[in-house]
Structure 1
Amino acid sequence: MKIASFNINGIKARLPRLKEWLEETRPAVACLQEIKTMDEGFPADEFEAIGYKAIWHGQKSFNGVAILADGIEPKEIQRGLCIDGPKDGEGEQARYLEADVNGVRICNLYLPNGNPHPGPKFDYKLAWMERLHARMRQIWAEEVPAIVLGDFNVIPEDKDVWSPKAMASDALMQPESRDAYFRFLSDGWTDAIDALNPRGGVWTYWDYQAGAWQRDHGFRIDHLLLSPELADRLLAAGVDKDHRGREKASDHAPVWAEIRN
């Protein structure tokens, strides 16, 4: 069973690339982030045409997450983490969607970026991570095979970025961000990419600016965290890096884990 995550950076703008990736790699489950569309604008029929059923949680122009499953409709468990946006009255942002697919709990997230740091957006990032931590503990207590995946907007260690110095002031690698991420791991969740690539040097994101892709100036912020029940079944994990180099591509590459059935 192949479970994948892809920050698509605008589903309407990237739809041809997204369908291309789905048909070439055929993951059993594909979690999308930054779909950047309201619910009524989600192109579900496009995915139905190639065999995928979907649930989604949209928001106008920003954020948004979706779960696609090959030949089966995801059974929605929860949307949102019940945490308001960084400004009073803004309401909850569309950043979290949870479902069951083929006996696996799929928790798809788009964690806040947190820049500029310091400031209210960084405070919101940390508050969101704390709420996520609480939800992950609830899932842990259920003892179900689970995967928490998506764009975490956290560079866990210096080995996960092309230049730690270049990113030193960014919210993605502040000590508080990293500490919050490692609290997930200290609870017993397994970072699938890191477990199979312990020396690092694996990137999932390359900025559109300053020739980052051409110079391979990237970093790893898209993660796959497995519960013990799923980590025992991990066969492989990787990044579909070549899809970042295609025409009109997202600035992220898809990440995936292969799980024994």
Structure 2
Amino acid sequence: MRVATWNVNSIRSRQQIVIDWLQQHQVDVLCLQETKVQDHQFPRSPFEDLGYKLYISGQKSYNGVAIFSLKPLEKVSCGFSPIIGDIAADFDEQKRVISGILDGVRIVNLYVPNGSSLGSDKYEYKLSWLELLGQYLQKLQTEKREISVCGDFNIALEDKDIYTAKNREKHIMSSPVEREALNKVLALGFQDVFRKFNPEEGHFSWWDYRAGGFIRNRGWRIDHHYLTDKLYQQAIKCWIDPEPRKLEKPSDHTPVILEF
């Protein structure tokens, strides 16, 4: 099975880029973030014409997640609340979580909040969101099935995930508190499968539009696949495809593909 994650930074703006990529790569599952469109305006038919079943959870102009799957998903769930209850209701106003079961595997697609700046209200929201994510995944683990978690985590977990570690402890997406919060979630039994195959530095999935970020390769690896143990052992490869980032008017992120 091939599962890809991609923050497309507006599905309507990148529609043709995504269509072309799917025609070339034929992944079984594509998890999208920042679709930035309400469900009734989502451009469904071009992707359905490629054979994909679409599962979407969107909102106007911001956030939004979707899963495209060649086979139907079971037990599709949007947001935290269906799994952990009303404690998460306020957080589900932002469309950042969608999951479903495929061939016995629970696939979870996430768009973790950016956090804006250290100490801001949005930063505190991000930390609270990550705490809820831990509760959510713990509850899913009671299903007694393997889990594949992917998405835009807006966190570079290690210094080698950034083109430079200078001042990283003062930078959003790499502060010690954010890393600690994510590591607490991963300690529930999830492993970074990309690092199983690519332990060296210099691998990035996001480049800022500003200051020639991509041309200068001033990137960050913030788009991840995390797997429970059995899937981790079954993983064959995991790689980043930088080609879509080279196109005209691309997303600032590029796909990360997992095969198990």
CA-CA distance at 1:124 after TM superposition: 0.4
Of the structure 1 ranges 73-82 and 1-10, higher mean CA displacement relative to structure 2 is found in 73-82
In structure 2, C-alpha distance between the alignment counterparts of 1:205 and 1:150, rounded to whole Å: 12
The amino acid that maps onto 1:58 is G
Write out per-residue CA displacement over residues 21-77 of structure 1, whole angstroms, 9 at most, x where no aligned residue: 11111110000000000010111111111111111000100000000001x222243
Q: How many residues align?
A: 254
Please give the secondary structure, in 2, of the residue aligned with 1:210.
Answer: helix
Q: Which residue number corresponds to residue 130 of structure 1?
A: 131
Q: Does 1:139 align with 2:140?
A: yes
CA-CA distance at 1:142 after TM superposition: 2.3
Q: Which runs of 4+ in 1 moved over 4 A?
A: none
CA-CA distance at 1:188 after TM superposition: 2.1
Write out per-residue CA displacement over residues 49-108 of structure 1, whole angstroms, 9 at most, x where no aligned residue: 1111111000100000000001x222243211243568xxxx620000011122221100
The amino acid that maps onto 2:93 is E
Q: Which residue number corresponds to residue 74 of structure 1?
A: 73
Q: Which residue number corresponds to residue 92 of structure 1?
A: 93
CA-CA distance at 1:198 after TM superposition: 1.8
TM-score normalized by structure 2? Answer: 0.93
In structure 2, C-alpha distance between the alignment counterparts of 1:138 and 1:200, rounded to whole Å: 34
In structure 1, C-alpha distance between the alignment counterparts of 2:76 and 2:101, rounded to whole Å: 7
Q: Does 1:154 align with 2:151?
A: no
Is the Cα–Cα contact under 8 Å of residues 188 and 228 in structure 1 kept in the other structure? yes
Q: Which residue number corresponds to residue 14 of structure 1?
A: 14
Q: Which residue number corresponds to residue 65 of structure 2?
A: 65
Task: Structure 2: give runs of 5+ residues left out of the alignment.
Answer: 82-87
CA-CA distance at 1:139 after TM superposition: 2.0
Is the Cα–Cα contact under 8 Å of residues 9 and 36 in structure 1 kept in the other structure? yes
Please give the secondary structure, in 2, of the residue aligned with 1:22.
Answer: helix
Is the Cα–Cα contact under 8 Å of residues 130 and 185 in structure 2 kept in the other structure? no
Q: Which residue number corresponds to residue 238 of structure 1?
A: 239
CA-CA distance at 1:167 after TM superposition: 4.5
Q: Which residue number corresponds to residue 42 of structure 1?
A: 42
In structure 1, C-alpha distance between the alignment counterparts of 2:108 and 2:178, rounded to whole Å: 20
In structure 1, C-alpha distance between the alignment counterparts of 2:212 and 2:224, rounded to whole Å: 24
Please give the secondary structure, in 2, of the residue aligned with 1:11.
Answer: coil
Q: Which residue number corresponds to residue 32 of structure 1?
A: 32
Write out per-residue CA displacement over residues 107-152 of structure 1, whole angstroms, 9 at most, x where no aligned residue: 0010000012211100000000000011111222322121010000
Please give the secondary structure, in 1, of the residue aligned with 2:69.
Answer: strand
TM-score normalized by structure 1? Answer: 0.93
The amino acid that maps onto 2:73 is P
Of the structure 1 ranges 213-222 and 224-233, higher mean CA displacement relative to structure 2 is found in 224-233
CA-CA distance at 1:168 after TM superposition: 4.1
CA-CA distance at 1:166 after TM superposition: 5.6
Structure 1 residues 167, 246: CA separation in 2 closer, same or farther (over 3 Å shift)? Answer: farther
In structure 2, C-alpha distance between the alignment counterparts of 1:167 and 1:207, rounded to whole Å: 16
Is the Cα–Cα contact under 8 Å of residues 169 and 176 in structure 2 kept in the other structure? no
RMSD: 1.5
The amino acid that maps onto 2:220 is F
Is the Cα–Cα contact under 8 Å of residues 115 and 170 in structure 1 kept in the other structure? no
Q: Which residue number corresponds to residue 56 of structure 2?
A: 56
Is the Cα–Cα contact under 8 Å of residues 163 and 218 in structure 2 kept in the other structure? yes
Please give the secondary structure, in 1, of the residue aligned with 2:178.
Answer: helix
Please give the secondary structure, in 2, of the residue aligned with 1:60.
Answer: coil
Query: Identity of paired residues, percent?
Result: 37
Task: Structure 1: give runs of 5+ residues left out of the alignment.
Answer: none
